[in-house]
């Protein structure tokens, strides 16, 4: 089976839930402790063996390109000030992987974003990571879904169990439980009501997709609003009896898609940070007294 070496990270959204903070700054560049949220995803992908990161960007996303590029001026300043530990950290960002960028000219859905990058992955299976999916886990979510793909060779959706009342925010699956938290998916429903949802297992924004998924997206008729959605491609594939698997991810999902979740992510990872963890814990305990 062909080894997966590329990942697509769609980052063209407007981040409206974080306005005004995202008026001139990409949501993906908002910090979680001491790194932008998007860097956690890139590090997770690289740790899983990914060698090339393909960002699907849009207007106002230049900061992402600059962050993963080499900065001569910053490097020179840090060397002159003998801050060699910081030099190493900063240089590592641009050296982690090969970075490519493609523009999504209009906000026409997550499926359209993936289709914009199809020419860069050709006939290869590819890891897909959306920017809201941070995990606090011993084994990163990228490694978990890639292992499942290696075993079955078919598309994989990363899953998490949520409160039943929350399912209407996500794509929800119904499936046959296999070994190792894996499900053979029989049904995929986007944003059902709690009463209609077949389970409380939802897609968290990390996938392994195969060339036929991209082919389905490029051939699919858009929704009435002009959008192409990855969920619709999955529904079409299931209708055609195409195998589709789900991996319930082990670890704590730190959904950074809204303000409260972002604050929770900062607290959880901040408590584990060697530099500030102890002080943060004392601060929180002081508030709760």
- What is the architecture, at CATH level 2, of domain 6-288? Alpha-Beta Complex (3.90)
Strands 52-57 and 98-103: parallel
CA angle centred on 92, ends 87 and 93, rounded to 5°: 110
Number of CB atoms found within 10 A of residue 277's CB: 14
pLDDT (average), residues 247-252: 95
* Residues 6+ away with beta carbon under 8 Å from 198: 172, 173, 174, 187, 189, 192
- pLDDT for the residue 82: 84
CA angle centred on 110, ends 155 and 256, rounded to 5°: 95
d(CA 232, CA 189): 9
pLDDT (average), residues 263-274: 95
pLDDT tens, residue by residue, 171-230 = 899 999 998 899 999 999 989 899 999 999 999 999 999 999 998 888 888 899 988 999
- pLDDT for the residue 1: 59
- pLDDT for the residue 180: 85
Token duo for residue 206? 């990390």
With 0-12 / 13-18 / 19 or more C-beta atoms within 10 angstroms meaning exposed / middle / buried, residue 32 is: buried
pLDDT (average), residues 33-61: 94
pLDDT tens, residue by residue, 94-134 = 999 999 999 998 889 999 999 999 999 988 999 999 988 89
pLDDT (average), residues 248-252: 95
Band (pLDDT 50/70/90 cuts) for residue 46 is very high
Token duo for residue 211? 């060339």
CA dihedral 258, 262, 265, 266 (to 10 degrees): -170
Whether residue 2 is predicted with pLDDT greater than 80 in this model: the reply is no
Q: What DSSP state is assigned to residue 92? A: H
pLDDT tens, residue by residue, 61-89 = 899 999 999 888 888 888 888 888 888 88
- pLDDT for the residue 288: 87
Residue ranges of domains in the chain: 6-288
């Amino acid at each position: 089976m062909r080894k997966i070496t590329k990942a697509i990270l769609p980052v063209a959204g407007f981040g409206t839930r974080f306005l005004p903070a995202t008026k001139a700054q990409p949501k993906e560049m908002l910090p979680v402790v001491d790194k932008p949220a998007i860097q956690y995803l890139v590090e997770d992908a690289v740790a899983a063996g990914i060698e090339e990161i393909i960002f699907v960007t849009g207007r106002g996303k230049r900061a992402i390109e600059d962050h993963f590029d080499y900065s001569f001026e910053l490097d020179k300043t840090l060397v002159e000030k003998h801050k060699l530990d910081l030099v190493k950290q900063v240089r590592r960002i641009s050296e982690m992987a090969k970075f490519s960028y493609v523009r999504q000219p209009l906000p026409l859905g997550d499926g359209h974003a993936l289709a914009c990058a199809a020419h860069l992955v050709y006939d290869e299976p590819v890891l897909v990571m959306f920017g809201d999916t941070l995990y606090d886990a011993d084994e990163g979510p990228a490694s978990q879904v890639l292992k499942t793909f290696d075993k079955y060779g078919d598309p994989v959706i990363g899953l998490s169990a949520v409160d039943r009342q929350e399912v209407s925010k996500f794509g929800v699956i119904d499936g046959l439980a296999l070994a190792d938290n894996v499900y053979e998916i029989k049904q995929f429903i986007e944003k059902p009501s709690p009463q209609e949802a077949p389970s409380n297992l939802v897609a968290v924004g990390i996938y392994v997709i195969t060339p036929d998924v991209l082919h389905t997206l490029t051939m699919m008729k858009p929704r009435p609003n002009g959008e192409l959605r990855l969920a619709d491609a999955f529904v079409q594939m299931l209708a055609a009896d195409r195998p589709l698997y789900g991996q319930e991810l082990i670890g704590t999902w730190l959904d950074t898609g809204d303000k409260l979740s972002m604050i929770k992510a900062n607290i959880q990872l901040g408590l584990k940070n060697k530099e500030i963890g102890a002080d943060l814990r004392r601060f929180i305990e002081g508030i709760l007294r």
